[in-house]
Amino acid sequence: MKILMVLTSHEELGDTGEKTGFWLEELAAPYYAFKDAGADIVLASPNGGQPPLDPKSNEPDFQTDATHRFEADTEAVAALASTVKLADVVVSDFDAVFYPGGHGPLWDLVENSESIALIESAIRADKPVAAVCHAPGVLQHVKDNNGFPLVRNKRVTGFTNTEEEAVGLTNVVPFLVEDMLKEHGGSYSCGDDWQSYVVTDGLLVTGQNPASSEAAAQALLTLIASN
């Protein structure tokens, strides 16, 4: 079992002068769900190399057992420092694809042609795809086999408008994940803010927020096992 995890290379939080990137828990919790299930994991990003970490996700309030384990894991840290370039990824090498969130993906992965093609190729090849928190935003331009938005008529979730409002970035992000999923025909639902909530529809798994990372990874493993 081989799983590709796709991370952002974008570190500027709009025009705020602050930094963003990927959210540590959304990498660490799935990483160990996959590793402990015996998976071979490859990390990729648009630019390759070390992807930017959202500094807020490394603050004590957001640390978890998984983030502590990751930061103490020399093999994991080395893999993160040397992510492969997305352009060099061959989807047939993998059984599934997982997108951790953080605000970074809303700027680069959403518009990245390699990322769009990767997801479309994975779905065509009957390989499951998961995205958590802001990462469902990367589905904005992804089409199904008939040229319609991939999320159209699919049950999906993602970072809620109220969660975005709570972190004060409603007017900073390029778009709101919840609104985009609805506008593209997704059957959007969510749980309580900041609580784990995951939806699976066909080959697509989406998770609402950082707390959903572990459950989204487990849902992806379930799809791989049944595929």
Please give the domain boundaries of the chain with CATH numbers for all domains.
2-226 (3.40.50.880)
Rounded-to-integer distance, Cα 86 and Cα 218, Å: 24
Q: Is 227 a residue whose pLDDT tops 90?
A: no
Instruction: Give pLDDT, residue 157.
Output: 98
pLDDT digits (tens, 9 = 90+) for 9-23: 999 999 999 999 999
Which two structure tokens, joined as six digits, stand for 82?
Answer: 């040397």
- In terms of phi and psi (left: phi > 0; alpha: psi -120 to 50; beta: otherwise), the region of 14 is left
Structure tokens at 155: 């049950």
Question: What's the token pair of residue 62?
Answer: 């957001």
Model pTM score: 0.97
| 37 band by pLDDT with thresholds 50, 70 and 90 | very high
In this predicted model, what pLDDT tens digit does every residue of 113-142 receive, in sequence order? 999 999 999 999 999 999 999 999 999 999
Helical residues (DSSP H) of the chain, grouped into ranges: 24-36, 65-71, 74-81, 113-124, 161-166, 177-183, 213-226
- SS3 label, residue 89: coil
Between CA 78 and CA 129 the distance in angstroms is: 25
Pairing mode, strands 198-201 and 204-207: antiparallel
pLDDT in tens, 59-73: 988 999 999 999 999
